Amino acid sequence: LEHVNELSTRQQMIATAERLFRRHGYHATSWRVLVEESGTPWGSIHHHFPGGKEELGVAAIELGSEQAAAFVAGSFARTETASAAVRLWFEKVAEALERSGWELGCPIATVALETVSSSPTLAQASERAFARTQGALVAELTAGGVEPDRARELATLIFSTFEGALILARVNRSREPLLLAGAQFESLVADALR
Amino acid sequence: LEHVNELSTRQQMIATAERLFRRHGYHATSWRVLVEESGTPWGSIHHHFPGGKEELGVAAIELGSEQAAAFVAGSFARTETASAAVRLWFEKVAEALERSGWELGCPIATVALETVSSSPTLAQASERAFARTQGALVAELTAGGVEPDRARELATLIFSTFEGALILARVNRSREPLLLAGAQFESLVADALR
Amino acid sequence: LEHVNELSTRQQMIATAERLFRRHGYHATSWRVLVEESGTPWGSIHHHFPGGKEELGVAAIELGSEQAAAFVAGSFARTETASAAVRLWFEKVAEALERSGWELGCPIATVALETVSSSPTLAQASERAFARTQGALVAELTAGGVEPDRARELATLIFSTFEGALILARVNRSREPLLLAGAQFESLVADALR
Amino acid sequence: LEHVNELSTRQQMIATAERLFRRHGYHATSWRVLVEESGTPWGSIHHHFPGGKEELGVAAIELGSEQAAAFVAGSFARTETASAAVRLWFEKVAEALERSGWELGCPIATVALETVSSSPTLAQASERAFARTQGALVAELTAGGVEPDRARELATLIFSTFEGALILARVNRSREPLLLAGAQFESLVADALR
DNA sequence: ACAAACGGGACCACCCGTTACT
DNA sequence: AGTAACGGGTGGTCCCGTTTGT
C-alpha cells in the first residue's frame, strides 16, 4: 500500500511537472508551484529527485515523449491507411491544443530550447525524447507500407513540421497550421504508399 | 551626437539580448548577464527600457523577425526561381546554425514558447514577429509566380517546417532536418509554379 | 551625506558580522540574522558583497585583525616596559572576555578553523589576519628592546599561547588560562630584555 | 554477534564524525556526508543517536579527547624525562598535522568554538574533553617529578600553547609554531624538575 | 537494524524594479 | 545618461528530525 503511495508521489510530481513545463517552460516552473499544484510534500523533493530540478526535467521529458509516441500510435490504430493516420494525428492534436486554451504545447520543445545550450543532461534527454517520438512515427509508417528509407525521411519531415506547426498554432491561437500540415502530409504519404 | 550614443546603447542591448535569448531563452537571461556581455551601463536599463524586461523582450523579438525576414529576402534575391530560393534558405540557415556551435536557433520561438501563456505582451509580439517573417515568405513566393492563395498556404507549411526543423537540427546537432525540408519544399514550390 | 550612509551600511554589516562570527562562527551566522541584528537592508547584500558570504567573511576577518593589532598596540602604549605590556594585554583580554559573558572570543580563530580546509579564500584571509596581529606584536617587542630574531620567536610563542588560552578561557568560563599565560610571558619577555 | 555489529556501526560513525569535525567543523558536517564517508546506513542514525547531531558531537569530542590523552601518554612513555616528552609530543603532532595535508587539527577546538555560545550540551562536552586531555598532562608531569601545583600551572600553560600553535600551524601550513613551543617548554619543564 | 518517505524550514544566491542623486 | 544603493521577494539546494513499515 505504501509502495503505491511512494510511486504515486514521485509520479505525481513528474506528471505535474510535465504539465507546467508545457505551459510555462522549465525556468518559469518552480518547485514551490509544483508542490502547490501537485499537492505533494516539499520535504520529499530531494529524496525523490536527488539530482535536483534537472532530474525532474529529464523525467518530465521522458513522460512527455511516451505520451506523444502513444498518441501517434493511437492515431494509426484508429485508421486504415497511414496517410489518414497522419492527418488524424495532426487534427487530434489541434483539437487538444485548442481545448486546453492554447496552453498545452509540446512537452519536449520548450524545455529543449531553454536548456539545449546550458544543460548537457537535459539536452541529451530532449534528443532521446524526440528520437523516441519520431521513431514511433517511422515504425508506424513502415508498418503501414512505406518503404523504410522513405519512411525515415518522411518521418523527419513530418515531425519537423509537427513541432513547428504546434508552435505557430499556439502562438496564433489557430488550428490552421496543424490542419494544413495534416492535409499536405496525407497526400505525401499516400504518394509514398503507391 | 548624444542621440546617436543613446540609440547605440539601446540598440546594443537589444542586439545582445537577441543573441542571449536565442541561446538561453528569456527567463535564463538576466540583466546582469546582459550588461556584462554587451558592455553597456547598468544605470541606463530603466532609462532605455521603462517597460522593464518585457520591453527588452519585445524589442529583441522584433529585431529577430527583421533579421529573419531579411534572410528570407536575401535567399530569393540570390536565386532565379522561388523553388531554388527556398532550398537555399534552409541550407544557409543550417550552415549558420552549425557554425554557431548549434547554439543560435530561432530568435522568436524560444521566447514565444516561454511566455505565450504568461505574458500577453510578449505573446502578441511573438505573433507579430512570426507573421512578419511568414509575410516576407508569402510576398516572395507571390512575386516568384505562385498563385496568392497557394502562396499563403505554402508559406504557412514551409514556415512551420522551418521552425520545427530548426529545433530538431539544434537538438540533434545535425543539419539533416533542415536540408531534408529544403529539398522537399523545392519540389513542392516547383509544382506550385507550373 | 549619502556617502556617509553608504559607508555606514557596508561597514555596519561587517562590524555585525565580526561580532556574530566571534560568537557563533561562520556557518552558524546567516545573512538573515545579520540583517536583523545590523538593521541593514536585505536587498543590498549582493550589491555590497558581490563575492557573497565569503567576501563578508574576509572583510570581517580583516576588521578583526585590525582591532586585535590595535589592542596589542594599546597595551604597549599604556605601559613602560614590553614585559608589562604583554601581561596587561592578556589581562585586558581576559576582562573583556568575561564582560562579554564569555561569548566574544578571537574574531579570526573560529572562522579560520571552520574554513581552512574548504575555502582557500578564507584560509588566506585568516593567514593574513594572524600575520598582521602577530606582526604588530613583533614590532612592539622590537621597539621595546627585544632583539629582532628573538622577538619573532617570542611573538610566535606568545601569540600561539594567546589563541589557545582564549579558547580555554572561553570554554572553561575562567580567566585563569589567560592570566597564567600573561604572568609567564611577563618574565620571559623580561629575560629577553636583559 | 548483533551487539558487535551495532557497536561497530555506531563506533564507525563516531570515528568518521571525529575526522570530519576536525576537518570542516560541526555545522559544515552533515549526516548525508557522514553516512557517505563512513559507509554506514542512513536508517540507523536515529537509532544510534536518539539525541540527534548533538549526541554525535558529544561522542566525537569524547573520542577526540581520548585519543589526545593517549597521544600525550604515549610521548611520555617513549622518553626518559618529562621535558623531552613534552618536546616529542609537540613534534609528533606537527608531523601528523603535516602528513594530513594540514587538515586534521584539534578534534575538540573547532566544535568547541562553534558551539560554546549556543549549545550548553556541547559546551560542557568540550570543557570535559579539554579537562581530560589537560588532566593527562598534569598526571604525567607529576609522575615525571614536577611539583603538583606547578604541574597544574604548567599544564594549563602548555596546553593553551598547544591549542594555539595547532591553529597557527594549520593556517600557516607550517610546523614552526609547534616546534618553537615544544623547544620552549622543554626547557621550562626542565627548570621545573630541578 | 535498517529503509523509505515525510515535513517544515533554513541556507545563500540572485532576481527585477525603484529611488535618490550626479 | 548614468550611478549606487535600496528593497522585497523567490530561486533551487539541503538540512535535521520524525514517522511508518519492514
Three-class SS of chain C: CHHHHHHHHHHHHHHHHHHHHHHHCCCCCCHHHHHHHHCCCHHHHHHHCCCCHHHHHHHHHHHHHHHHHHHHHHHHHCCCCHHHHHHHHHHHHHHHHHHCCCCCCCCCHHHHHHHCCCCHHHHHHHHHHHHHHHHHHHHHHHHCCCCHHHHHHHHHHHHHHHHHHHHHHHHHCCCHHHHHHHHHHHHHHHHHHC
Spatial separation of the C-alpha atoms in residues A85 and A146, rounded to whole Å: 13
Is the CA virtual torsion B118, B124, B126, B127 positive or negative? positive
Contact, A41 CB vs strand F, < 7 Å? no
pLDDT of residue D158: 98
For A148, the grid coordinates are: 523504410
| pLDDT tens digits for range D136-163 | 999 999 999 999 999 999 999 999 999 9
CB contact under 8 A, C110 and D113: yes
Q: Quote the mean pLDDT of chain C.
A: 95
pLDDT of residue D1: 40
CB contact under 8 A, A168 and B160: yes
Q: Both ends of chain B: CA-CA distance in Å?
A: 54
Largest pairwise CA distance in chain B: 58
Contact D110/C at CB under 8 A: yes
- pTM: predicted TM-score of the whole model, two decimal places: 0.93
Contact A171/B at CB under 8 A: yes
Per-residue pLDDT of chain B (194 residues), as tens digits, is 445 555 689 999 999 999 999 999 999 999 999 999 999 999 889 999 999 999 999 999 999 999 999 999 999 999 999 999 999 999 999 999 999 999 999 999 999 999 999 999 999 999 999 999 999 999 999 999 999 999 999 999 999 999 999 999 999 999 999 999 999 999 999 999 98
For residue D114, list chain C residues with Cβ-Cβ distance below 8 A: 24-25, 27-28, 110, 114
Residues 6+ apart with CB under 8 A from A184: B157
Residues of chain D with pLDDT under 50: 1-2
| Separation in Å, CA B100 to CA A109, A164, D54 | 20, 21, 55
Q: Taking a C-beta distance cutoff of 8 angstroms, is the pair A21, A37 a contact? A: no
| pLDDT tens digits for range C141-176 | 999 999 999 999 999 999 999 999 999 999 999 999
* pLDDT-above-90 percentage for chain C: 93
Q: Quote the mean pLDDT of chain A.
A: 95
Q: Is the pLDDT score of C109 beyond 70?
A: yes
Which residue's C-alpha is at the least distance from the C1' of E14? C46
Residues of chain A with pLDDT under 50: 1-4, 6
| Band of residue C8 on the pLDDT scale cut at 50, 70, 90 | confident
Spatial separation of the C-alpha atoms in residues D71 and C95, rounded to whole Å: 33
For residue D29, list chain C residues with Cβ-Cβ distance below 8 A: none
Which chain C residue shows the shortest CA-CA distance from D166? C160
Q: Give the best-scoring range by mean pLDDT among C44-53, C107-116, D7-16.
A: C107-116
| Band of residue C44 on the pLDDT scale cut at 50, 70, 90 | confident
Q: Is the pLDDT score of C24 beyond 60?
A: yes
A and B interact (at least 3 Cβ pairs within 8 A): yes
Residues in chain B, total: 194
pLDDT of residue C2: 40
Report, in ranges, which bases of strand E sit under 7 Å from a protein C-beta: 1-22
Q: Taking a C-beta distance cutoff of 8 angstroms, is the pair B146, B65 a contact? A: no
Q: Taking a C-beta distance cutoff of 8 angstroms, is the pair C149, D122 a contact? A: no
Chains that touch D (3 or more CB pairs under 8 A): C
Contact B110/A at CB under 8 A: yes
The one-character DSSP state at D173 is T
| Band of residue C3 on the pLDDT scale cut at 50, 70, 90 | very low
Q: Taking a C-beta distance cutoff of 8 angstroms, is the pair B147, B191 a contact? A: no
Across residues C112-135, what is the average pLDDT? 98
pLDDT of residue D6: 57
CB contact under 8 A, A167 and B110: no
For residue A105, list chain B residues with Cβ-Cβ distance below 8 A: 113, 116
pLDDT of residue C5: 52
| Separation in Å, CA A17 to CA A115, C18, C55, C171 | 16, 44, 37, 51
pLDDT of residue D3: 53
3-class SS at A173? coil
Contact, D53 CB vs strand F, < 7 Å? yes
Residues 6+ apart with CB under 8 A from C76: C82, C85, C89, C140, C143, C144
In 3D space, the residue among D64, D68, D66, D46 whose CA is nearest the CA of residue D55 turns out to be D46
| Nucleic chain F contacts, protein chain A, residues 8-37, CB cut-off 7 A | 27, 29-33
Residues 6+ apart with CB under 8 A from B92: B71, B75
- HSE of B72 in the Cβ direction (CA atoms, 13 Å)? 22
* pLDDT-above-90 percentage for chain D: 94
